[in-house]
Amino acid sequence: MATLTLRNICKAYGAVEVIKGIDLDVDDREFVVFVGPSGCGKSTLLRMVAGLERITSGDLLIDGQRANDVDASRRGLAMVFQSYALYPHMTVAENMAFSLKINGASAADRAAKVQEAARILQLGPLLERRPKELSGGQRQRVAIGRAIVRSPKAFLFDEPLSNLDAALRVNMRLELMRLHESLRATMIYVTHDQTEAMTMADKIVVLNAGRVEQIGSPLALYNRPANLFVAGFIGSPRMNFLDATVEACDATGVDVRFAGGQSVRVPAVGNALAPGERVTLGIRPEALRLADGPLRGEVRIVEQLGSLTILHVEIAPGVVLVVQAEGGSPVAIHAAVGLAFDPAACHLFNADGKALRPAACQTEPSRAH
């Protein structure tokens, strides 16, 4: 059982601020994912929670108690690293039992906990091997086993799957989801991979340059990104962005005109916009259809994935839209195509990159920062 609360957490290395005031509540048994590009501060934030890095300012509460000055070993949290960090001279069983031994657990207690972790992770037949006799995926399972035996209040994972090949990553992702389900433990998981974030998280925290861009469920972030950064980061293939100009607006919608193109009416709150203002229209590849519509262009690239076809359509010199069509599309390279979309599925961003929402969505609970 554990809740974690971060209040205005900051981290500076000398004069360089790398974490710039983060507020977050992690509920008991929640699976929270920190996602963001490399260097945005994910590891630093996780290491402050773990107690491996001093918190420059702000408060960390574990189960409601301030924990800033509590030693890492006394926080009751277990961290799993990308690098596995196993002891090479110890067997799998010894690696998993090591922290229990340090803490004075009896041999019988150690053996029982190692057996239970080995059962959960299907490591039974490997208990007497040494790390060098294991595959990457097996090593990572041992590293997770080492965390499980400690029965931590919460698990902290820092890009644990990044060293694995693509197929194994998908397998381990499913294993971690099963683990979360069976242990019913609080977990914080750090990744730069939006697919991992989308598939695993109860709650995603999108980080950028040491700040929170948005916190919400995977679908809240996908359906209602608060800004251009989140819109471009969550969803694959990435959302298309088109420069446009506001022609007219009222309380129910905005008429926008693409550069050199037609205009469409987007049901967004237009009160904050003025005619002539520059905006960005966001359309997800899966929201575009090959049909007569306000956009036309030439197919430049066709990516056949079997169940899907990804088309790259140039609608103006240098302006390419990515279109995701179901199944194997017969459209060939260089074909001239029309693109249609439901204006209600569009996203509109003002010149500051902030999303403008239809009135009905304004009170929804996704937290924007």
Please give the residue ranges that form the binding site for ligand ADP (CB under 6 A).
Answer: 13, 18, 36, 38-44
Chosen from ligand ADP, Mg ion, none, partner binding at 186 (C-beta under 5 to 8 Å by type): none
3-state secondary structure of 315: strand
Cα(25)–Cα(343) distance, integer angstroms: 35
Least distance CB 51 / ligand ADP (angstroms): 15
Whether the CB-CB separation of 323 and 314 falls below 8 Å is answered with no
Please choose which of Mg ion, ligand ADP, none residue 44 contacts, taking the beta carbon within 5 to 8 angstroms, the exact cut-off set by kind. Answer: ligand ADP
**Nearest distance from residue 45's CB to ligand ADP, in Å?**
7
39 binds, among ligand ADP, Mg ion, none (CB under 5 to 8 A by kind): ligand ADP
- Among residues 80 and 321, whose Cβ is nearest to ligand ADP? 80
Residue pair 246/255 in contact (Cβ under 8 Å)? The answer is yes
C-alpha span between 207 and 119 (Å, rounded): 36
Judged by beta carbon, residue 12 or residue 291, the one nearer Mg ion is 12
Beta carbon nearer to Mg ion, 46 or 346 = 46
Nearer to Mg ion, 191 or 227 (CB): 191
Q: 42 or 141: whose CB is closer to ligand ADP?
A: 42
To which residue do tokens 């019913």 refer?
184
What b-and-e string marks burial along 107-146, b requiring 16 or more CB atoms within 10 Å of the CB?
Answer: eeebeebbbebbebbebeebbeebbeebeebbbbbbbbbb
CA distance 201 to 218: 7
Distance of closest approach, residue 24 Cβ to Mg ion, in angstroms? 17
Q: Which stretch binds Mg ion (CB under 5 A): 39-47, 145-153, 249-257, 351-359?
A: 39-47
Task: Give the angle subtended at the CA of 295 by the CAs of 290 and 296, to the nearest 5°.
Answer: 75
168 binds, among Mg ion, ligand ADP, none (CB under 5 to 8 A by kind): none
- What does 4 bind: ligand ADP, Mg ion, none (CB cut-off 5 to 8 Å by kind)? none
Edge-first strand listing for the sheet containing 31-35: 77-81, 154-158, 186-191, 31-35, 203-208, 211-216, 367-368
Smallest CA-to-CA distance from 8 within 69, 47, 60, 50 is with: 60
Residue 43 sits in the site that holds Mg ion (CB under 5 A): yes
Between 159 and 175, CB nearer to ligand ADP: 159
Residues present in the chain in total:
369
**CB of 6: closest distance to Mg ion in angstroms?**
17
CB of 38 to ligand ADP, least distance (A): 4
Question: In the complex, which residues of this chain contact Mg ion (CB under 5 A)?
Answer: 43
